[in-house]
């Protein structure tokens, strides 16, 4: 694994894996940081591939986990490669290889050398699913002598919320080039939720019919141990309870293992069930020690907690469990997902808890009462319908930039 990471970073530095175009139509380069941004791009990429079949689509990714996730999830014909490090020789070599007609940045990928090179080659820049945290905004303002040209060069931006638009405007993007569209990652969730995948996971993990499962996902900081403690307490009354826990960052895994061993709780790593050779599960606590599985694991859950919310992080993707018609629990720190919270709580499928003890009591009561099989399909569909649709709107704008239809494509460099 370490060798694979070293190779990935070598490829990023020398930029020798960027593929050459094969079509005569326009060439679009999407760039994502990691798994989350790749997820947000999939709905757009799939729809653009269908709407403009003669377009060359490329997706660069900045982490090994995101790269492997993208390789296994993008539609046929979309070529994935390691994103160049933001140094002149890597960026220039990539642009020379791709000769892109349009560059599409995902969420908050603002790299000074890359954007300078794109402007030098007169390649338009579009931002999709744009989001800028207050911390990042302050840093960009402080370093405006480095990043100012990046924001002034963005020709069109689709951002998540009004606050993102305001921040982009103060950083130099003209207000008339910014549109609040939400995030296309929710269209991707609708596309990816497949009940057959859940049946495969149940067989792989040996989950008995009716065995209750709790999933704690995207756990940050002390949440990694807090959820394990809640699981330990719940198992006192529910011996057959299965817990699946996914830290947001894998460097937390050793800390979780040390806690489990100190408290004499048996555990297994999810990776031990991913080989082609079937094996039996001997522990009821599973630690997710890899990237790219969490969305599917949510589909197994009877009770779900989404992290970054009991600690002051601001929240992660609380909508992912809803794609599987699950009620999702989260803490009070939801600054990054306020709109999602408003919609999910309005339909009764998003539940905010004040602290860890409140989460434990709610889960204990639900397990004791057996309120685990209640279908939330109707509420989930309504919530997702309200959140979805950004991918279609974004693709419509990209088509205008590319001036393409389903049968032919031509680049329109005058589009702004």
pLDDT at position 405 is: 44
Chain Cα centroid distance, residue 72: 14
Tell me, yes or no, if the two domains 2-184+389-402 and 195-387 fold the same way. yes
pLDDT value for 407: 35
- In terms of phi and psi (left: phi > 0; alpha: psi -120 to 50; beta: otherwise), the region of 206 is left
Cβ atoms 136, 107 nearer than 8 A: no
How many CB atoms are located within 10 Å of the residue 44 CB? Answer: 27
Residue 54: partners with Cβ closer than 8 Å, 6 or more residues away: 23, 24, 25, 404, 407, 408, 409
Of the candidates 117, 119, 56, the one whose C-alpha atom is nearest the C-alpha of residue 85 is 117
> DSSP states of 373-402 as a string?
----HHHHHHHHHHH--HHHHHHHHHHHHH
Per-block mean pLDDT, blocks of 10 residues, the chain (416 long)? 68 71 82 91 93 92 90 90 93 92 95 96 96 92 95 95 95 96 86 87 91 96 98 92 96 97 97 88 96 93 97 94 95 93 96 98 91 74 92 93 56 39
Token couple for 230? 């809640």
CATH superfamily of 195-387: Glycogen Phosphorylase B; (3.40.50.2000)
- In terms of Cβ atoms closer than 10 Å to its own Cβ (0-12, 13-18, 19+), residue 4 is exposed
Taking a C-beta distance cutoff of 8 angstroms, is the pair 179, 159 a contact?
yes
Tokens of 11: 């490829």
Domain 2-184+389-402, what architecture?
3-Layer(aba) Sandwich (3.40)
Residue 86 neighbours by CB under 8 Å, 6+ apart: 111, 112, 113, 114
The burial class, CB within 10 Å (0-12 / 13-18 / 19+), for 348 is exposed
Tokens of 346: 């309005």
DSSP labels for 104-137?
EEESS---HHHHHHHHHTT--EEEEEE---HHHH
Question: How high is the pLDDT of residue 371?
Answer: 63
Segments making up each domain of the chain, as ranges: 2-184+389-402, 195-387
DSSP E strands: which ranges in 50-115?
56-61, 78-82, 102-106
Q: Please tell me the predicted confidence (pLDDT) of residue 406.
A: 41
Other Cβ atoms within 10 Å of 352 Cβ, number: 18
Output the pLDDT for position 411: 39
Q: Cα separation of 55 and 121, whole Å?
A: 20
Does the reported pTM lie above 0.85?
no
Other CB atoms within a 10 A radius of the CB of residue 153 amount to 17
């Amino acid at each position: 694994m370490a060798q694979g990471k070293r190779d990935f970073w070598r490829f990023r530095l020398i930029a020798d894996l960027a593929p050459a175009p094969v079509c005569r139509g326009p060439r679009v380069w999407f760039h994502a940081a990691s798994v989350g941004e790749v997820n947000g791009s999939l709905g757009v990429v799939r729809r653009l591939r269908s709407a403009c079949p003669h377009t060359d689509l490329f997706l660069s990714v900045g982490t090994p986990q995101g790269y492997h996730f993208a390789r296994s999830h993008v539609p046929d014909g979309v070529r994935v490669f390691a994103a160049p490090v933001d140094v002149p020789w890597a960026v220039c070599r990539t642009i020379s290889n791709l000769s892109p007609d349009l560059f599409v940045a995902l969420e908050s990928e603002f790299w000074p050398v890359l954007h300078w090179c794109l402007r030098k080659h007169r390649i338009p820049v579009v931002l999709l699913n744009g989001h800028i945290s207050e911390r990042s905004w302050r840093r960009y303002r402080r370093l405006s002598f480095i990043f100012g040209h990046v924001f002034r060069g963005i020709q069109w931006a689709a951002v998540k919320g009004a606050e993102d638009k305001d921040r982009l405007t103060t950083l130099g993007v003209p207000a008339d080039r910014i549109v609040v569209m939400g995030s296309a990652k929710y269209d991707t969730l609708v596309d990816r939720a497949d009940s057959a995948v859940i049946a495969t996971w149940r067989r792989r993990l040996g989950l008995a019919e009716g065995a209750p499962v709790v999933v704690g996902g995207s756990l940050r900081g002390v949440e990694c141990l807090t959820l394990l403690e809640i699981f330990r307490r719940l198992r006192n009354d529910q011996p057959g309870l299965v817990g699946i826990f996914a830290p947001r960052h894998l460097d937390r895994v050793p800390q979780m293992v040390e806690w489990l061993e100190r408290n004499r709780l048996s555990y297994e790593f999810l990776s031990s069930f991913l080989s082609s050779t079937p094996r039996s599960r001997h522990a009821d606590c599973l630690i997710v020690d890899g990237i790219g599985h969490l969305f599917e694991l949510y589909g197994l859950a009877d009770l779900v907690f989404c992290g970054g919310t009991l600690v002051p992080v601001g929240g992660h993707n609380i909508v992912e469990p809803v794609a599987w018609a699950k009620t999702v629990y989260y803490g009070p720190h939801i600054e990054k997902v306020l709109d999602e919270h408003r919609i999910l709580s309005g339909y009764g499928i998003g539940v905010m808890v004040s602290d860890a003890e409140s989460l434990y009591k709610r889960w204990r009561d639900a397990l004791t009462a057996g309120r685990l099989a209640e279908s939330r399909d109707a509420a989930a569909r309504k919530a997702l319908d309200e959140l979805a649709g950004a991918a279609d709107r974004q693709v419509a704008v990209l088509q205008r930039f590319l001036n393409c239809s389903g049968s032919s494509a031509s680049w329109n460099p005058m589009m702004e």
